Chains A and B, each alone.
Chain A
């Protein structure tokens, strides 16, 4: 193509990754703007609300951090699952399972005040892990596609939570509403004053991101996860046990989503309520967090903040411009779509090569057979 030459580039420098991701993000915003125009909303005003109203406002900025907490925990878990090529689409259900576990401890177990928060986190992690364990086992013992099982388990968790809050766990004080009793004070997470940032969960998320980042890069198990993700056959030949590794990965991924669920009920709502209020689609949005982080758990800290920003901006637009809440889904979906659509740009590099030579023809990526 003219004096430039395209050639395959095995790894893209991080500046390019960042640049291409920003391009995808901007394109998604532009397309979403066109949709807003259809609704009769001036997209420029929407962007003004999105950036000026959110980033320029201290309370809204704090809200970004609070939305980023579940996104980070779930996202880190999904990074690890995706690295092992396990398509965990069930984080939404795993998060809800964690919320249920924490609620059970908070409402029904006689745990001393000092131990109740750790007990709730432990219960949430166990429940989330159990929710992730089932698809991993089914995939390896019976070869059942994990995309389907994890998705179906989301619905099982959603209706399960609905059943609990309408039925057996319905609060004494809830009257007509579908939620449980409020947790006692000892079972509620402290927040940074003036915000809704439950900092314990935030620290937990950052610690998990750093810990898993280290573990994936530096430990034997991390190595096995990476090999399994790149070539299951190579992993088997090397004497690794794909089943064991996958189960461990899914236990971790589910447990992290479960922790996020604990944070939501103990830090924000102080009770278990309707599933769509416990999780605002964090389990699905975290797929974007993980994909944007490109396999790096530490990078999920940044991408969780970005998605937290989208959630907060969606809320701000809902209030300021009276657009439906689903606008967040539009942004999320478009970002994901453009993100993977532009991935091809990372696989090649353009080089200035004025003189045509034989190598140019041979390296042409799109050359037919």
Chain B
């Protein structure tokens, strides 16, 4: 029984790791008032970059670092379009998701089916580091000066600007940090979870990461819980194979997301998202 439990926890944590990294990243972006729906795109870019670099250098950690850079660059594009150009954040993020999936699909065709020697175990430093980053992020956001700056920019950018805070810079920083974390999460998929590259291998995890961010009420520590919960769901759908049609099992985590968000909606009341979430800020506007 204990063996089963250990296996379950290990497998659940393996799926939870990329979700965890990506959701913490999104928490930073959203706390600063920027929705980035491009998580799926940033993750798949991370997965591709990590695979290519790990394959070329034989260093999985180098691959993950490169994945972080790849995700950060993609997020910077989102920052430029949605913060500097003040475009609609939802549409900008969707465009980023399309571009990420498209570009990696086009460039990655030659890399499909190549085995990777330089891999990480499913539970590695990255998983523990993810939990540590979550706790650290909670501390930063809730108990430090920079955290208050980030949250105030997300709640009321005009008031923050009146206090001399550079709203644009804070938002860029949070969006890019979010992209770096999502990139590492995606990289984990291709060097540890399934050491290989397949087109679109993020497989919807990016969208679930977005849901976890909301589900966790923008709190990094609760994100850990959300990621483990969804990791367990994915594992459960794996364990039930044979009993239920595989297509229905693959549907389950996505359907559960809706159910979970609906069931927890009432508890979340009163601790809704950052006040200025999704709203572009025009300097000088009140």
Contact = CB atoms under 8 A, between A and B. Distances in A.
Contacts of B106: 35, 39, 323-324, 326-327, 330
Contacts of A166: 245, 247
A148 B211 contact: yes
Contacts of B214: 145, 148
B258 A344 contact: no
Contacts of A142: 262, 265-266
A340 interface: yes
B91 A340 contact: yes
B204 interface: yes
A155 B248 contact: no
A329 B265 contact: no
A329 B98 contact: yes
B147 interface: no
Query: Which interface residue of A39, A166, A329 has the most chain B CB atoms within 10 A?
Result: A329
Interface residues of B, number: 51
B92 A340 contact: yes
A138 B268 CA distance: 14
Given A333-B99, A340-B91, A369-B284, A326 B81 contact: no
B248 A163 contact: yes
B101 A148 contact: no
Nearest to A168: B245
Interface string B156-182: 000001100000000000000000000
Interface stretch (B8-16, B51-59, B134-142, B249-257): B249-257
B103 interface: yes
Interface in A308-365: 323-334, 336-337, 340-341, 343-344
A189 interface: no
B105 A340 contact: no
Nearest to A281: B98
Given A148-B211, A291-B91, A143 B269 contact: yes
B262 A340 contact: no
Contact of B81 (A152, A324, A331, A337): A337
B87 interface: yes
A73 B214 CA distance: 32
B81 A340 contact: yes
Contact of B95 (A153, A340, A369): A340
A156 B255 contact: yes
B283 interface: yes
Contacts of B272: 143
B43 interface: no
Interface of B: 37, 77, 80-81, 85-88, 90-92, 94-103, 105-107, 109, 161-162, 199, 204, 207, 210-211, 214, 245, 247-248, 250-251, 254-255, 257-258, 261-262, 265-266, 268-269, 272, 283-284
16 contacts: A35-B106, A89-B94, A138-B262, A142-B262, A144-B261, A148-B258, A152-B258, A155-B204, A156-B255, A160-B251, A163-B251, A284-B94, A287-B94, A332-B102, A336-B98, A366-B283
Report, nearest first, the 3 A-B pairs whose CB atoms are least far apart: A326-B105, A329-B102, A333-B98
